Structure 1
């Protein structure tokens, strides 16, 4: 009975964490997914070979896209610069001829990246294959600190995401594939 409550609490915490993360600005450059795509492009010079690698690597794109949506793009949203591509302005701040114009009616503090003046500079990013079922994304900052997220394929082929050893989200293979297909 107690373990069922723990599972329910874990599911609830995961849903809340995913919802909060989703509300913090998922629109962005998808820098990590672009990085994975770059590896695909460099693997072979033939379009059919690249297409084959894309299909085989679809779960990798699912993982990178989820990390982009929940972590990297959120950093871009709040700071104004994508930590992977090092490009700004944030996609959310891209000037276009908008259908609804509300910025003129808002306090100027609400019209740009609130943490853009916070100097959080990344030194490097890396993706490491830990084993047949695990990938690790590490972001190293100029101040010497690092942050990592690990994606681990579970026995049922779901992917569990861990930050600092703590489970933060679980996605099934179909959710990852559906997301990749929507890109």
Structure 2
């Protein structure tokens, strides 16, 4: 019974930490998106660029979510 309470407490603590509502500005992701939308004057070429560099969006989003937004939160 005691281990069950410990597991539930650990789960609730983890849920609290993961849902702390610290969204951050996602500045790196925003910079990539801004660059992509202004790369050329043609929206069709910008779409091709988007498709080609789409893995960069994923990398930037993860880096922002896990590293940069955490630094931004703790440094103010």
Q: Which has the larger radius of gyration?
A: 2
Task: Give structure 1 regions of 4+ aligned residues with deviation exceeding 3 angstroms.
Answer: 22-26
Cα distance in 2 for residues equivalent to 1:26 and 1:68: 12
Q: CA deviation at 1:41?
A: 2.5
Q: CA deviation at 1:78?
A: 1.8
Unaligned runs of 5+ in 1: 1-18, 81-183
When normalised by structure 1's length, the TM-score is: 0.29
1:33 to 17, 29, 32: 29
Judge conservation of contact 1:28–1:76 (CA < 8 Å) in 2: yes
Match of 1:125? none
1:47 to 43, 46, 64: 43
**Higher RCO by CA contacts (8 Å cutoff, separation 6 or greater):** 2
Cα distance in 2 for residues equivalent to 1:78 and 1:25: 14
Q: CA deviation at 1:53?
A: 1.3
Query: In angstroms, what is the RMSD of aligned CA positions?
Result: 2.3
Bigger fraction of residues in helix: 2
**Paired residues, what number?**
60
Bigger fraction of residues in strand: 1
1:26-85 alpha-carbon deviations (Å, 9 max, x no partner):
5111100111112212321111221221122110000000000001111122223xxxxx
When normalised by structure 2's length, the TM-score is: 0.63
Judge conservation of contact 1:25–1:77 (CA < 8 Å) in 2: no
Judge conservation of contact 1:27–1:73 (CA < 8 Å) in 2: yes
